[in-house]
Amino acid sequence: MSKLYKLLFAISFVGLISACSSVKLDDANGVAEVNAGGSMTYDPISDPKSSVYGKRSIYFEFDSYTVDPKYVSTISAHASYLKAFQKQKASVIIQGNTDDRGTAEYNLALGQKRSESVKKALVAQGVSESQLEAVSFGKEKPADPAQTEAAFKENRRADFVYR
């Protein structure tokens, strides 16, 4: 019976892969063109020349959920993207994270406050709340598992995850 399940899984996996949309390179400007059957042909999230490419995290000080003013341009860039692609249903999950100091309950609450503060900053710039979801992973998804101050700084963040 397990061979039947493995065969069904393999067939399903091949079907999923063959159903994926194609991505081709646009020779004129070196930007990937996404063709998923919709009308959107340019995606700034995937463009290395875009103001939002690679800037997917907002970092926080220890025991803080206040957004540092140095991240205003990053938040503004994401807000512009979300507003521009609202009709295409662009949306983001803001994932709050902490370092591993403190209890699990405390870190979940702090991670939620961090994601909510980034969400509020996006809403203040005109992004629809329906495009945003704020969640917390607390200390469960460290960017760097080391027990150093540098690792703790990397883990105190809110990440933008587009869906």
Q: Which residue ranges make up each domain of the chain?
A: 20-50, 51-163
- In angstroms, the first-to-last Cα distance of the chain is 36
SS (H, E, C) 70-104: HHHHHHHHHHHHHHHCCCCCCCEEEEEECCCCCCH
157, 97 in Cβ contact below 8 A? yes
Of 144, 145, 132, 50, the closest CA to residue 95 belongs to 132
Q: How many CB atoms lie within 10 A of CB 104?
A: 12
Residues 6+ apart with CB under 8 A from 116: 65, 96, 134
Residue 69 pLDDT:
96
Average pLDDT for the chain: 80
> 51-163, superfamily in CATH?
OmpA-like domain (3.30.1330.60)
In terms of DSSP H, where are the helices of 24-71?
none
Q: Which helix (H) or strand (E) holds 132?
A: strand 132-138
Residue 55 has pLDDT above 50, yes or no: yes
Note the pLDDT tens digit of each residue in 105-155. 999 999 999 999 999 999 999 999 999 999 999 999 999 999 999 999 999
Q: So what's the pLDDT on residue 53?
A: 66
Residues 20-46: tens digit of each pLDDT: 443 333 333 333 333 344 444 556 667
